[in-house]
Homo-oligomer: A and B are copies of this chain.
Amino acid sequence: MRLVLDAMGGDHAPEAPVRGAVLFARERPEHEVVLVGDPARLRDSLSRGGGVPGNVHLHPASQVVDMGDQAFSAIRRKRDSSLRVGFELVRRGEAAALVSAGHSGAVMAGALLVLGRLPGVDRPAIATLLPALKGSGRCLLLDSGANVECRPEHLAQWAVLGSAYVRARLGLPRPRVAVLSNGEEPSKGTVLTRKAAELLRASDLNFVGYAEGRDLFSGDVEVVVTDGFTGNVVLKASEGVAAGMTGILRSAIERRGGLSEKLGALLLRPTFAGLKKMVDYAEHGGAPLLGIQGVGIVAHGRSSPRALQQALEAALQTAQVGGHAELTRCIAQAAAWLPVRQRGKRATGETLSD
């Protein structure tokens, strides 16, 4: 399979994407990575990285979408940006998926404007796979930040997409779906959550009602839908707690550190590795955009080479499990109960967060 990596996107571009592509290509000799960006800078980065594997390719793009750019206008104006050129490769079938650690709003805009939405989907969502402690051990949160102001049918559409994705990627036949709320009782929540829950109660999904914040990590549900504002805030707060707790451990061990603390830390190293994995969920793997005509993966802006290697791995897995074909089937099937107010791409785009 052939994957595109936006080599100019992210805080550490192009070094991190170049090194991430090389890591991936060495471990996956049967697949190919296309790095899109300024050829001179990419060659420069590649030359510093030692040998270049034969399955890493360069594709030129003269422009870059900056973090300060307005997402939709950047994709429209910068026709030779690495992001837009990368999406064009996917659209023409020259690559199976795109990964970018750049401006996430622009990744969404590129997916919408170049690839387009799946029929029956009003708004694509960013889907983040969280670690859980019991049950299936994973929970998919969507939307994680692309759509700030939402309508109930958006949440219901994401429930369909999320279920199909979890079924395909994790092999769970009937994932439990919930709407994120401030309490379990149906009387809780906002107008948005109550109307979304009403739609989902009438669906053929395995809808279990409201989930609270802690359920994201409890293993009691596999798909949780929410608006992108709440999703983003909740993800970043969770990262903050996780980073804070490992920070407390680290500083206690390093600074206060005592021989006994150091020895204790050494003995508990495998345990801490588990903790670190939980902390790193947002850094690693990348989050797929669900609801678009193709596979697009949003990676963290601060992604390291290793994180981008993981994001390419996520792109590969997502493309391999059937990409959007299964999602298309499920959304079509859901038409029986799911209202859609599909409008032009432009109208949708302009209400997205930029």
Q: Which residue of B lies closest to A231 (CB)?
A: B182
Contact digits for A216-256, partner B, Cβ 8 Å, 1 yes 0 no: 11100000001011101111111111111101110011001
Assess the B240–A213 pair: CB atoms within 8 A: yes
Q: Which of B190, B216, B353 contacts A182 (CB 8 A)?
A: B353
Count residues on chain A whose CB falls below 8 Å from chain B CBs: 61
> What number of copies of this chain does the assembly contain?
2
Assess the B267–A249 pair: CB atoms within 8 A: no
Assess the B148–A189 pair: CB atoms within 8 A: yes
Listed by A's residue number, 29 A-B pairs whose Cβ atoms lie within 8 Å are A133-B244, A148-B190, A182-B229, A182-B232, A183-B353, A187-B354, A212-B232, A212-B233, A213-B232, A213-B234, A213-B238, A213-B239, A214-B236, A214-B237, A215-B240, A230-B233, A238-B240, A238-B241, A241-B241, A241-B278, A244-B278, A245-B275, A249-B268, A252-B270, A253-B271, A261-B267, A264-B265, A264-B267, A267-B267
Binding site for B on A (CB under 8 A): 131-133, 145, 148-149, 180-183, 187-191, 212-218, 226, 228-230, 232-245, 247-249, 252-253, 256, 260-261, 263-268, 270-271, 274-275, 278, 353-354
